[in-house]
Structure 1
Amino acid sequence: MADIIEVLKAAGQDDLLKHLETLSGDARKNLERDIASQDWNELKALHAEKSAANLSDNVSADLQPMPFKIAADDLRYDFWKETGEILLGKGQVAAFLVAGGQGSRLGFEGPKGMFDIGIPSHKSLFQLQAERLQNLAAQVGHPIPWCIMTSPLNHEATVNFFTENNFFGMDRQNIRFFEQGTICALTPDGKAVLDGEDHLALVPDGNGGCFRALAQSGSLAWLIERGVRYVFLYSVDNALCRICDPAFIGALASEGRSMSASKVVPKAGPNEKVGIFAFQNKKPGVVEYSDLPEEYRDMKNPDGSLTFDGGNIAVHLFKLEGLRKLQTSKLPWHTARKTVCGIEQCWKFEQFLFDAFPQLGTMMPFGVIREEEFSPVKNAEGNDSPKTARIMIGKLHKEWLKKAHCEVKADKLYEISPALSYAGEGLSRRVFERELGKSILEFDEE
Structure 2
Amino acid sequence: MPDLLLGQTLTFAADPFAEGPAAARHERHGAVLIDGGLIRASGPAAELRAAHPQARVHDYGQHLISAGFVDAHVHYPQTAIIASWGKRLIDWLNTYTFPEETRLADPAYARTIAARHFDLTLAHGTTTACSFATIHPASVDAFFAEAQSRGLRALTGKTCMDRNAPDGLRDSAQSAHDDSKALIDRWHGVDRLSYVITPRFAPTSTPAQLEVLGALWAEHPGMLMQTHLSEQTEEIAWVRDLFPAARDYLDVYEAHGLLGPGALFGHAIHLTDRERARLREVGAALVHCPTSNSFIGSGLFDLAGLKGEGQRVGLATDTGGGSSFSMLRTMAAAYEIAQLRGTAVHPAALWWLATAGSAGALGLGDRIGTLAPGREADLVVIDLASTPAIAQRAAQANDLWEALFPTIMMGDDRAIAAVWVNGSPVVPQAPQLCASQ
Question: Which structure is higher in strand share?
Answer: 2
TM-score normalised to structure 2 length: 0.29
Larger Rg: 1
